């Protein structure tokens, strides 16, 4: 596995592959890898000849008072995992490689970035769009693999790629979960022994809300309110949002339809968890 840490060394690693006609998939991550990330790597291997995984904790997508300083960093372990999974290139840029002195460009995507996480994490999607644009320009992949775990992020990046006519196909990978339903996340390691059994209630509540919506498609507000209250009763300290939205445009949906998605963000103490499911699947 090659481990470039600068843009020229990354390009030296990638350029010969293009000349040899190899297709390249990029899987961007912030490290602290778990099997959710590895499910993306498996998809990447299925769709492309060469897999590039980036490890970069992007400071621009963290707001003031968020967990940038505490975010888990375990580069050596991450590199071992990537090597073990047959990744070809692990791109590990430093902060100064990504944002050198005098860096002053921000990519900002409107529409889909508003509301949901966009409302609760001001500037977050500007940080995401900026770093993803840079990674796409640096790696020039044929395929970009992102997880549905961060569903709004997936829609923001799709919009960005369409709007800027970037020649890259985006594949959204299904959410990898623990056996009790909790979506795998690097932040799950912050959960205390008391909080851990409560955390899967987030997914369970989404399933309950979906079942109710399918029975009463017009009672969105009442059913959602009940879902929020259930999370608070279960021990979540705050429900940032629980919403039914159009699954592509992410505009608020007044009624349940096959083309809607349920998205949630809630806090267990200091730990912020997110999850989502299609509203229209499986009754
Ligand atoms: P992160 O390191 O949290 O920035 O995540 C890197 C990529 O992995 C993003 O595209 C995430 O959506 C994706 N990802 C993280 N957790 C999961 C999961 N449990 N299932 C599927 N994809 C995930």
As a whole-number percent, the residues of the chain with pLDDT over 70 amount to 99
Cβ of 157 closer than 6 Å to ligand 1, yes or no, is: no
- Which protein residue has the closest C-alpha to ligand 1 atom 11? 147
Given pLDDT bands bounded at 50, 70 and 90, which one contains residue 69?
Answer: very high
- 269: CA distance to ligand 1 center in Å? 22
Give, in degrees to the nearest 5, the angle at Cα 214 between 208 and 217: 120
Q: Answer yes or no: is pLDDT of 99 > 80.
A: yes
* Tokens read off for 142: 């044929």
User: CA-CA distance, 242 to 230, in Å (whole number)?
Assistant: 11
Beta bridge partners of 129: none
Looking at residue 283, what is its pLDDT?
A: 40
DSSP conformation class of 2: B
Q: Percent of the chain, pLDDT > 90? A: 98
Higher-confidence position of 245 and 281: 245
State mean pLDDT over 102-117.
Answer: 97
Q: What is the pLDDT of residues 130-180, one digit of tens each?
A: 999 999 999 999 999 999 999 999 999 999 999 999 999 999 999 999 999
**34 counts as catalytic:** no
Q: What pLDDT is recorded for position 282?
A: 52
- Ligand 1: does its nearest atom lie under 6 Å from the Cβ of 24? no
Give pLDDT tens digits for 193-228. 999 999 999 999 999 999 999 999 999 999 999 999
Q: What does the pLDDT read at residue 66?
A: 92
Centre of ligand 1 from the C-alpha of residue 23, in Å: 22
Contact 59, 95 (CB under 8 A): yes
The average confidence (pLDDT) of the chain is: 97
Above 80 in pLDDT, residue 281?
Answer: no
Distance 147 CA to ligand 1 centre (A): 5
**Rounded to an integer, what distance in angstroms lies between the CA atom of residue 84 and that of residue 257?**
43
The pLDDT score that the predictor gives to residue 161 is 98
For residue 184, the model assigns a pLDDT of: 98
For residue 231, pLDDT beyond 60: yes
Closest Cα to atom 6, ligand 1: which residue?
29
Tell me the average pLDDT across 181-192. Answer: 96
Q: How big is the CA angle at 77 (ends 157 and 4), to the nearest 5 degrees?
A: 60
61 touches ligand 1 (CB under 6 Å): no
Would the pLDDT of 271 be above 70? yes
The single residue listed with the structure tokens 């995401």 is 128
Distance 20 CA to ligand 1 centre (A): 30
Question: Which residue of 129, 143, 149, 177 sits with most ligand 1 atoms within 8 Å of its CB, as the best mutation to test the pocket?
Answer: 149
**Measuring CA to CA, how many Å separate 248 from each of 137, 146, 151, 158?**
25, 15, 10, 10
Asked whether the predicted pLDDT for residue 124 surpasses 80, the reply is yes
């Amino acid at each position: 596995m090659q481990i470039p840490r600068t843009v020229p060394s990354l390009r030296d690693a990638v350029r010969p592959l293009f000349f040899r006609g190899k297709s390249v998939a990029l899987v961007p991550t912030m490290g602290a890898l778990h099997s959710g990330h590895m499910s993306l790597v498996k998809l990447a291997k299925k769709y492309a000849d060469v897999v590039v995984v980036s490890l970069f904790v992007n400071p621009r997508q963290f707001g003031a008072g968020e967990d940038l300083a505490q975010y888990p960093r375990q580069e050596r372990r991450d590199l071992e995992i990537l090597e073990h999974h047959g990744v070809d290139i692990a791109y590990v840029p430093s902060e100064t490689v990504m944002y050198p002195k005098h860096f002053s460009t921000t990519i900002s995507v409107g529409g889909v970035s508003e509301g949901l996480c966009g409302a609760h994490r001001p500037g977050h999607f500007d940080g995401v769009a900026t770093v993803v644009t840079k990674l796409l320009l640096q790696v020039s992949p044929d395929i970009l693999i992102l997880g549905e775990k961060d569903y709004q992020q997936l829609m923001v990046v799709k919009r960005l790629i369409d709007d800027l006519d970037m020649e890259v196909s985006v594949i959204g990978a299904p959410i990898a979960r623990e056996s009790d339903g909790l979506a795998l996340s690097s932040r799950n390691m912050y959960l205390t022994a008391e909080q851990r059994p409560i955390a899967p209630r987030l997914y369970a509540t989404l399933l309950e809300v979906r079942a109710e919506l399918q029975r009463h498609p017009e009672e969105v507000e009442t059913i959602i309110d009940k879902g929020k209250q259930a999370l608070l009763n279960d021990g979540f300290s705050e429900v940032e949002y629980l919403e039914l939205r159009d699954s592509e445009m992410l505009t608020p949906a007044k009624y349940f339809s096959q083309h809607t998605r349920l998205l949630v963000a809630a806090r267990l103490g200091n730990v912020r968890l997110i999850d989502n499911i299609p509203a229209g699947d499986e009754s």
